[in-house]
Chain A
Amino acid sequence: MIRSALLAVTAALCPLTALADDQTLDIAAPFELKGLDPALSGDIFLRLEIAETLVDSDAKGRLRPGLATEWTTSEDGLEWRFRIREGVAFHDGTMLDAAAAAISLNHARSHEGLLSRAPITDIRADGADLVVALSEPFAILPAFLAEYRSQILAPASYGPDGEVVALIGTGAFRTTEVSPPQTLAAERFEDYWDGAARIPALRYTAVTRSETRALMAESGDAELVVTLDPASVTRLSELEDLEVVSAPLPRVLMLKVDAASPFFDSAAEREALSMAIDRAGLAQVVLRYDASADQMFPPNMDGWHDAALPPLSYDPEAARALLEQAGWTPGDDGIMQKDGQRFAVELVTYPDRPELPLTATVLQQLFHDIGVDIRIVSSNSSEIPARHAAGTLQMGLMARNFALVPDPTGTLLQDYAPGGDWGAMGWDNPEAAQLIRRMASEGATPGDRARIAAIFRQDLPVIPIAWYQQTAAISDRVEGITLDPYERGFGLARAGFVE
C-alpha cells in the first residue's frame, strides 16, 4: 500500500513538464498577465521584447526609430507619415508593412486608451508609409506611438471580431506559452530584424508577493527579479551571487489635494502642508533610499528638472504660521479651525504599492503636528479617479508615472490641463493649462518645461513627496541586463548567460 502511494506521489509530481533548463532566463515580476490584448498586458510584452512599437525611446526618454525608420509632418501639422522599416518579419513569418501597422493602430484607436483620446481622424497605409491624419496639430503623436498600447502585431493576431486571439509580434522573442495570469514562455526569434538574441529562451512568472520574489532571487530560481521591497533590497545586497541594481524613475510619490475645497484653496495652505512633510526622514524610513523630492520632476527628467528652483523644505513652525495667516486658528484639541470648521480631511490611498499606506500613516503624524487631522482610507487604486469624478476626493496619496508616454507632456496633458484623475483637482491656472496644450500641439522648448516646473513649485497643484527608483536583483549567471528608467525593457535582446 505504501509502495503504491509512493508511486502515486511520484506520478503526480511529473505531469508532463519540462525539467529545469539552464538555457532559460527566468524572470519574476509583480505584473500579472491579464490577456493577449496590448491594452491589457502590452507593457509586459514590450518589456520582454516580444512586441514592438513604431517609435522607440532611449534611456533618457528621447525618441528614436523603432519599427518606423523616420517620420515627418506636413506643413499644417495635420498629417504625419511614418516610414515603415523594411525586412521586418513577424513571428508567423509574414512581413511587416504599413497595412499591418495600420490594422494594429486602428485596433488600439477603436478601444478606450491613449490613441482614442488623440485628435486622430484616420490611420491608413500609403505605400511604404503609415499615414496618420489629425483634426488639429499634435506634436507629441510620435511619443503616443511609442506607448505600449500602440504596439504592432501581425494581422493574423486579430480574430474575426477584431479582438486579439494570438500574440504575433516582431520582437526578439516569440511566445511559446501564454497562460494568464502567471506564466509566459518565449523562445529566441531567429529572424529578428536587429539580429537574433543571445538568450535561447525566457520564462516570465508573475509573483505578486514581494517576499516570494525576493526568495526566488535568493534561491537562484529567477535570474531577474523585478521590483524589490525595501527590506529585501538590504538583505539581497549582501549576497554574493547576485547584484541588486536600481534606476531612478520618472515616477513621483505625491499628494493630490482638492484645490477648490476650503482646506486647500490657497497656495499658502498647500505650501503649509508641504512644509509639514519631513521628506528626508520619510524616504529613509519608508522607501529606505534617499529619494526625497524637492520639486516635482526628478533630476533624470532632462529639461523638466530645474536645479535653480527653491527646494521644498521641512519646517513645521513655518507651516503653522502659514496656516494662521490663511485664517486658521488652533482649536481646543490642537486641530486648526476656521469659520467653525475643523481642519479634518480624508486621505485616500491604495495598497497596490506597499509603501503608500505606510507613507500615509507617517503623513498622518506629520500633519497632526501642524494641526491638521487626517483620516486614512486605504482602498482600491480606482477610488482616486472615482472620487475625483464625483468631486468627493479631499486628498489622495498616489504614485504617478510621468513617462507613461515617453514624452511627459502626454501625461501632463491628461493630468494638468487643467486637471485630471491622477493630477490636479479644482486647480485654476489658465497659464499652465494653455502652456501644456501648446506644448502638446506644437512641441516644447526648454523654456516651456522650466516654466511648468516653476508653476508647479510655486502653486503646488499637487504636493510632491518622493521620487521613485526601480529595483531589480540580477543573478551573476547573466550579463547585459539593464534597467530602463522609462520601464520599456531590460535589454534582454542583448543580454546573455555568462560563459
Chain B
Amino acid sequence: MRGLTGILAFRLAQAAGVALVVGVMSFLMIQAMPGDAAYRIAAARYGYDMVSSQAADAVRAELNLDAGALAQFGGWIADLLRFDLGRSVVSGEPVAHEIAHQLGATLHLSVVALLIALLIGPPLGVLAGLRAGGLLDRVLLVAAAGLRAMPQFLLGLVLIVALAVEAGLLPSAGHGRAAHVVLPALTLALGLAAGSARIARDLMAGIAASQHYAFARMKGLSDGQVLRHHGLRNIAAPLLTYLGLQFVFLAEGVVVVETIFGWPGIGHALIHAVFHRDVPMVQGTALVMGLGFVVLNALIDLAAGRIDPRGVTA
C-alpha cells in the first residue's frame, strides 16, 4: 500500500499548494480590479437605486477597508488556518454556508450532466471506432465538432426553445423541481459527450486495429466477447483520465449554464462575487473549485490504477 500512501501524500501537498496559489492569485486579481471596493460592495448590497457615497462610507467603516490589502489578506490566511472562510461582505452569511448550498446545486447539475454524457458519448464513440471510416463514424465527427464548437450559451437557448417552448416537454429554467435539472444538464452533457465520443472512438479504433485484438478474434471469441474482454477495459483507463480533465470544461460550463438557466450554483456565485468585489466569497469559491479539482484527480488516479494495475505514467 506504499503506492496509495504515496499518492495521498502527494495529493495533500498538492492541495496545500493549490490553496495557497488560489488564495494569493484571487486576492491579487481582485485588488488589481478598477474601482473603489466600498462603492462596489454597496452597489451589490443595496442595488443601483440605493448605492450612494453614504452607503459606501458605511460599508468602508463596517468592513474596515481602510486597513489595507495586506491586513485583509493576513486576516484571510489566519481564518483559513482555523478552517474559517469568513463571511460574505454582501449578504453577511458565512462563506462556508453559502458555498455548501451552491456546491450542492452544482454537484447535482454536474453529476447528471456527466451521467448523460457517459450514456451518449463513449457508447457512440466505441461503435464508431469499431467501424472506423463508416457512416456512423463520419456523422459523429461532424456532430461532435459542431456540438463542441457551439457556445454553451447558444446551445442552452436552442434547447430551451426546442424542448421547453416548442415541445413543452421540460421546464425552461429555474430550480427546485426535479425536471429543472434536465435542460442545463443536457446543455453541459452534449459538449462533454462530443469530446468523450471522439476520444473513445480514437482509442477504440486503435485497439480494434491492434494485433492482440485481431488475435482474440482469431481464437474464436464472438464480437461481443472480444469487445468486453479486450476492448472496453483497454479504453477505460485513458478515457477515465480524459474525463478527469473534462472537469475544467465542466467548471467553465457551469458558469455560463447556471446563469442562463437560473441555477443557484457555484459558477453563478463566483461571477457575482467577482462583480461585487466580495473577496471572501471569491477566495472561498475558487479554493473549493481548486481543491475539488485535486480531489477529483486523485480519485481518477486511484480508479485508473485499479482498472490498469500496470501503472499510469502518462
Q: Which residues of A contact B (CB under 8 A)?
A: 2, 5-6, 8-9, 12-15, 17-20, 26, 28, 31-32, 34-35, 37, 39-40, 43, 111-113, 117, 163, 179-183, 185, 203, 205-209, 211-212, 215-216, 218-222, 350, 352-353, 379-383, 385-386, 388-389, 399-401, 404, 414, 420-422
The size class of the interface chain B forms with chain A is 35 or more
Q: Cβ of B52 and Cβ of A404 under 8 Å apart?
A: no
Nearest CB of chain B from residue A384's CB, rounded to whole Å = 8
> Among B78-86, B141-149, B160-168, B211-219, which stretch is in contact with chain A?
B160-168
Q: Cβ of B178 and Cβ of A14 under 8 Å apart?
A: yes
Residue on A with the closest CB to B36? A386
Q: Which residues of B contact A (CB under 8 A)?
A: 34-36, 39-40, 42-58, 90-93, 98, 101, 108, 111-112, 115-116, 118-119, 123, 157, 160-161, 164-165, 168, 171-179, 181-182, 259-264, 268-269, 272, 275
Q: Cβ of A215 and Cβ of B164 under 8 Å apart?
A: yes
B260 / chain A contacts, CB cutoff of 8 Å: 209, 211-212
Nearest CB of chain A from residue B27's CB, rounded to whole Å = 20
Answer whether A13 and B35 are a contact pair too, CB < 8 Å, given A35-B92, A208-B259, A422-B52. Answer: no
Task: Identify which of B35, B108, B115 contacts A386 (C-beta below 8 A).
Answer: B35
The count of A-to-B residue pairs whose CB atoms sit within 8 angstroms is 178
Nearest CB of chain A from residue B136's CB, rounded to whole Å = 18
Decide if the interface of chain B is mainly helix, strand, loop or mixed.
helix
Nearest CB of chain B from residue A43's CB, rounded to whole Å = 8
Q: Cβ of A404 and Cβ of B49 under 8 Å apart?
A: yes
B36 / chain A contacts, CB cutoff of 8 Å: 382, 386
A8 / chain B contacts, CB cutoff of 8 Å: 115
A221 / chain B contacts, CB cutoff of 8 Å: 164, 171-174
Q: Cβ of B45 and Cβ of A350 under 8 Å apart?
A: no
Residue on A with the closest CB to B37? A382
Q: How far does the alpha carbon of A404 sit from the alpha carbon of B171 in the complex, in Å?
A: 35
Q: Cβ of B92 and Cβ of A205 under 8 Å apart?
A: no
Q: Cβ of A382 and Cβ of B177 under 8 Å apart?
A: no
Q: How far does the alpha carbon of A113 sit from the alpha carbon of B35 in the complex, in Å?
A: 22
Nearest CB of chain B from residue A33's CB, rounded to whole Å = 9
8 extra interface residue pairs, beta carbon distance < 8 Å, beyond A15-B108, A212-B261, A219-B165 = A26-B174, A35-B90, A219-B172, A220-B168, A221-B174, A380-B40, A400-B49, A421-B51
Task: Identify which of B51, B91, B161, B173 contacts A34 (C-beta below 8 A).
Answer: B91
Nearest CB of chain B from residue A64's CB, rounded to whole Å = 23
Q: Cβ of B53 and Cβ of A421 under 8 Å apart?
A: yes
A215 / chain B contacts, CB cutoff of 8 Å: 157, 160-161, 164-165, 172-173
Q: Cβ of A207 and Cβ of B174 under 8 Å apart?
A: yes
Nearest CB of chain A from residue B156's CB, rounded to whole Å = 9
Residue on B with the closest CB to A19? B177
B164 / chain A contacts, CB cutoff of 8 Å: 215, 219, 221
